[in-house]
Structure 1
Amino acid sequence: MTSMSASAHRFDPLGIENRSLAVQSILLLIGTAVLALASQVSVPMVPVPITMQTFALTMIGVLYGWRLGALTVLAWLGEAMMGLPVLANGGAGLAPFVGPTAGYLASFPLIAALAGYLAEKGWTGSRVVASFSAHLLANLVCLAVGGAWLSYLIGVEKGLSLGVTPFVLGAVLKSALAAALLMAIGRRAVTRVDL
């Protein structure tokens, strides 16, 4: 009985938990397309433009749940490895996975899973501060892993100044946007259930 009540309060606006494997497979493909599109959206920032990749990654983790979210990100990365231009600026092939972006790419399935896991624990929806914190934590994990790899390649000072510092403000803004959007989605889902 406890598991039923916990499941009833789980944040699952897409009803993924009850979907067939076929529907989940279609959602996975839709998710890879969303990630590919988000990778091409660039917000001009000084000194480095910020893409919407991490926003889409954490949102997919939350909306799909940590398992399907991480699997969707792994499929998207697989598409990139096969040569499909789905990464930022149309990047594809194996080069992004061994160059300066490798650390960020390696963190992507982790941050989708982390955001999804925290959402399953209640860090989303109407709990705006917790939702913001979950997304920010996931973004900071991305910056830590990506920055560590970049620092290994070009030195700590350059790695931090080029690969972490310029993206902190973007991480905060994207986390706030995600929390606000998920609060609206949560309210809409509750309203539909109440009707």
Structure 2
Amino acid sequence: MVTRDLVLAALFAAIIIVLGLLPSIMLGFIPVPITAQSLGVMLAGVVLGAKRGMIAVLLVLLIAAIGMPVLSGGRGGLAVFAAPTTGYLIGWVAAAFVTGFLCERLVNREQAGLVQGVSFFIAALIGGVVVLYAFGITYLALVTGMGLSKAFLGSLAFIPGDVLKAVVAALAGRAVMAGYPLLPQRA
């Protein structure tokens, strides 16, 4: 890993943290808020690729673990890793990795813009929604005792917003690929 990779990972960690400044929305029927930080996770995977995107997310989680209030709602400290939302935080790591991995396999510079955009969207949807939900729903069901079906049904309320986030991530990925051809290949 070179210095440029570390700088890019730190930049996207900062983007994820800034997205945490946007107020979260509690739905009331599930103890997980709607946040904008999952968009940052998708962006990290789409733009940076699997390895650097995952490092960006790990950096955010490390900063949160040492007590800095970098998660939505100004949360930080080890207590955030003992909450019903912990599965989603762990899922961020896998989501960034899978999103980046899929982008590395599905997208290349020779494709038409529409194909690139659709490929970015598919990668963000699979990594940033399916993988993230797999971790989050499973942990939520186990910790709260609500069962997988209730946790799954409660999480359905997040899908429209997360699909919109995947569209934004895909557009950003396409814009970066078209506008910054000197950005090193995702690795």
TM-score (norm 1): 0.77
Which runs of 5 or more structure 2 residues have no equivalent in the other structure? 182-187
- 2:34 matched to 1:56? no
Pairing 1:161-172 to 2, within 5 Å after superposition: 161-162=153-154, 164-172=155-163
Corresponding residue for residue 112 of structure 1: 96
Structure 1, residues 125-156: CA drift from partner, whole Å, max 9, x if none?
73222211111111121112101111112312
- 2:133 matched to 1:143? yes
Root-mean-square deviation (CA, aligned residues, Å) is 2.6
When structure 1 is superposed on structure 2, of 21-30 and 128-137 the one drifting more is 21-30
TM-score (norm 2): 0.80
| In structure 1, C-alpha distance between the alignment counterparts of 2:172 and 2:8, rounded to whole Å | 19
Aligned residues: 172
| In structure 1, C-alpha distance between the alignment counterparts of 2:169 and 2:161, rounded to whole Å | 12
Compared with structure 1, are the counterparts of its residues 91 and 150 closer, same or farther at alpha carbon in structure 2 (3 Å cutoff)? same
2:87 equivalent among 103, 110, 133: 103
Larger radius of gyration: 1
Q: Is the 8 A contact 2:24 2:72 kept in 1?
A: no
Q: Is the 8 A contact 2:49 2:104 kept in 1?
A: yes
Q: Secondary structure, in 3 states, of the residue corresponding to 2:106?
A: coil
| In structure 2, C-alpha distance between the alignment counterparts of 1:142 and 1:61, rounded to whole Å | 13
| In structure 1, C-alpha distance between the alignment counterparts of 2:57 and 2:49, rounded to whole Å | 12
Cα distance, 1:106 vs structure 2:
0.7
Cα distance, 1:116 vs structure 2:
0.9
Corresponding residue for residue 184 of structure 2: none
Corresponding residue for residue 35 of structure 1: 16
Corresponding residue for residue 169 of structure 2: 178
Higher relative contact order (CA 8 A, sep 6+): 2
Identity, in percent, stands at 30
Which runs of 5 or more structure 1 residues have no equivalent in the other structure? 1-19, 191-195
